[in-house]
Every structure is written in C-alpha cells, then in structure tokens.
Structure 1
C-alpha cells in the first residue's frame, strides 16, 4: 500500500526544458512540505532508474510527479535514461507526467499495471520560453503561461482534491491563459506561443479512477 500523503518528484535538469521543469517544480516541493506531505525529490542526477525504482518499491509514494522527456512507450530521467516503461509497476499511485506523448499509450498501461490514475499528454507537451530568460526560468513570464497550469495539477492533488478536479482546474487555467494570449492586449510573444498552449489544452488526458485522491 502507498504511504499516506507522500509525493515522489523526478526532475532532471540536463537540458533547457528539463531545467525549466526543475525550477518551476520548486514551489511544489515547498508546498507539499508546508502541507506536511512527505517529499521524495529526485533532482538532477538523482533522477535515474535505479533510484526511482528503489523509492517506488520501498517508499510506495501515493503521488508520482514525472518531469522529463518521453514518448508513447517510455518516460526518461536524467540524460534521457529510460526510467518508466510498459513493464513498470506504479501500484496504487496517482501519476502525473509532464512529458511528451506518455499519455498516448504508456499512461493507460501504467493504470492497467496497477496505478490508480494517470494524467498526461497524448501529443507533445509544449513549453514556450523567452530566450533572454533562460538563465532565470522563474522570471520567464511566457513559460509561466504553460507551467503554472500544469503545476496546478499537483497543487490541486496535494490539497486532497480528486484527479478529475486537478485535470479540470488545469485545463480551465490553460484556457484562461490562452484567451489572454490571443487578446488585443497580448504581446507578439504571447500570440506566437498561444498555439502551443492550445495544443496542451487538448492533449491532456486522464486514465483510471477520476475520483481518486491522495
């Protein structure tokens, strides 16, 4: 059985996008700790298959937050090392993958293998960014339009809301940001990036029990 109120976060930081994911996950680590939820933080090189499986098998986290690159059949950790595949057992956990295409096939298989629920994307997950801000990702307002709605999935779950509620709040936030990005007051960068956020909005999927909470 999963440990009550615990979260495992993978956040490699070996390239531009994973550095953004890693930095924007800091607030979720802090928020979980403020809620007295145990955090297993696999940051940087710690985000490898050996350490990940050790935590899964011994600590049995109730919530798993995967940050990194992926495809329909594999989720990768630091240095793009395959970490989660169709053979992986994430029993009794809620899983959110901030990654490309994991929701196309792997997410459903993880549920079939015993995970309670899965949220992810069945196409590419896009994250717009500002080139001048790449050394300070938390100051990148364009990136925030993409990453704040995805962070909302985890923060909503950490508040003991359901998987469906987390999914709904995230999509509502994406839609609100999209409307802002195509409005008459938007910047060129916002208008240019809007198509990618629209794609994220329509590629976010749920598998498993939508009413599950941690």
Structure 2
C-alpha cells in the first residue's frame, strides 16, 4: 500500500444466531487487517445500516469490504435485514474496491452487477453459506467444533487477500482446504453430525466463486 492507509470495512449486524457466529469468527479477520496496516472500520449491530454503510464508503478510503449478513441473489442485508447493498441500486459504492460477502446467494447477480459498476473483485457464494452448530455452544461460537470447519475455511478468503494473494489464488486456496476438511469429516465415525458437517463444506465449496479480474489484489 502506498500513501495514506487503506481501509477495511466489515459489517457485523448481530441479527440472529447465524450472524452471531459469523461475527464471532470475524475478530481474527479484523486483527489480520490491522496487522497488515489497514484501518479497520466495523459496523456492529444497529450501525450495520444502509445510511452508515454508504457514509463510510463515501467518506473513507476503503479498499476492502466484507459482509456478514443475510443475502439474496441481488442483495445483502444488514441490521434487522435492512438492504444495504443491492444490484442496480447502490452497487456503484464498490467501484475500485474488492468485496467478500459471507452471505447466501449474493454472488450470482449482485457480484456481477458490482463488477459492471466498477468493483475490482467480488468473492462470495452462488448458493447458501451453510454450517452445522452445536446447540450447547451457542453462547461460545468459537468453541463450537461442529461450526469451526466452515468458518475456518471461509476465513481463509479475507485473510489470504489481506496477505496479498490474488482473488483467484484466494478462492482456490479456500476450495483446496474445504476439500481437505471434507475428506477428514467423511471419515469421522464418532460424531453423528459428521456427515452434515461434510455436506455443508461441500455445499460451501460448490457455491464459492468470484467475479471480476482473478489477478486482482488489495
């Protein structure tokens, strides 16, 4: 990076249990961004709204945007499922930026729309992002061994990009690790949930892809 430090903007809406898991696993990503010299801007809870989201993108030198939130093919939501980014509406906000969306379906239409509007790269999922959770670990997501494989592999994407890898390299690295995890969990006979963990990993790997120039770096 040259000149003034570039920014990393991340949404952590705290909407429901699924998003709470995404948020908990985002701390190591924010730490990695700080260590790489990025200014970290978090939009937690109610701050993950459209107004604040647009304000940060318009006023700060944001290079990398990460979403934790529910999605649809053409949109991503923030707090209380308010739409904060939508194809054909405000996708131009990502012009000159790279995005990673840990949200369902949003790559298929929104990703392409953002690239058309000038984004450098968009990594996300064409299918739902899925994970299995242990109901006894809901208050401590980082200690949930059933959820861990899906979040470790999804965290590879932003952390790898923060380390300077290209979008294409990052996606391939995540897919390779996902396959290793699938191979491991398919051999587990001690947990009744093991096949479900493997299935979620397979699903996430199948849906993971990118739009834009694969050689893009932060």
Q: TM class, shorter-chain normalised?
A: over 0.9
Aligned position for 2:81:
80
The gaps in structure 2 that reach 5 residues or longer are none
After the TM superposition, which parts of structure 1 deviate over 3 Å for at least 4 consecutive aligned residues? 2-5
Distance 2:9 2:34 in 1: 12
Matches within 5 A, 1:112-131: 112-131=116-135
Aligned position for 1:43:
44
SS in 2 for 1:213: coil
Distance 2:61 2:95 in 1: 8
1:137 to 113, 132, 141: 141
Distance 1:108 1:83 in 2: 17
After superposition, give the CA deviation of every residue in 1:144-188 in whole Å (9 maximum; x if it has no partner).
100111111000011111111111111111111111110155522
The gaps in structure 1 that reach 5 residues or longer are none
Aligned position for 2:205:
201
Aligned pairs, how many? 213
Distance 2:86 2:185 in 1: 36
Distance 2:4 2:213 in 1: 19
TM-score norm. by structure 2 comes to 0.94
Aligned position for 2:160:
156
Structure 2 residue 96 is the aligned partner of structure 1 residue 95: no
Contact 2:186 2:198 in 1 (8 A): yes
Q: Offset at 1:192?
A: 2.4
Q: Cα gap change, 1:3/1:141 in structure 2, threshold over 3 Å: closer, same or farther?
A: farther
Contact 1:93 1:117 in 2 (8 A): yes
Aligned position for 1:23:
24
Q: Cα gap change, 1:176/1:46 in structure 2, threshold over 3 Å: closer, same or farther?
A: same
Contact 2:67 2:101 in 1 (8 A): yes
After superposition, give the CA deviation of every residue in 1:186-209 in whole Å (9 maximum; x if it has no partner).
522122221121111111111101
